Amino acid sequence: MLDLKKLIRAVPDFPKPGILFYDITTLLKDPQGLHELIIRLAARYENNRPDVVVGIEARGFVFGPALAFRLGVGFVPVRKPKKLPSEKVSVTYDLEYGADSLEIHKDAIQPGQR
């Protein structure tokens, strides 16, 4: 079995001193690694398939559509404020020093879908 952790580059002190950043671009450029990752993610939902995959900006946009395709379901993006053109629902959450919010189209997920 492919060790996916070995395909992720650890970058010390990025974006600031004391932070260890995990750069997934090295995984994304490896065809076998990316394929294996999506297969493993999809296997988690083999017996409990969702109706849609929801991906939160920005990494959710990288893996979400590929996972949705593999599962044979749709993909719904969750965006930062003012990025979606139609009627939307938003949620605000607390950060360490403030707050932020995310938005989803109001009609993106239908009642009863999971």
Catalytic residues: 59, 96
* CA dihedral sign, ordered 102, 21, 30, 37: negative
Residue with tokens 């003012």: 82
Per DSSP, the three-state class of 63 is helix
* CA dihedral sign, ordered 44, 105, 24, 30: positive
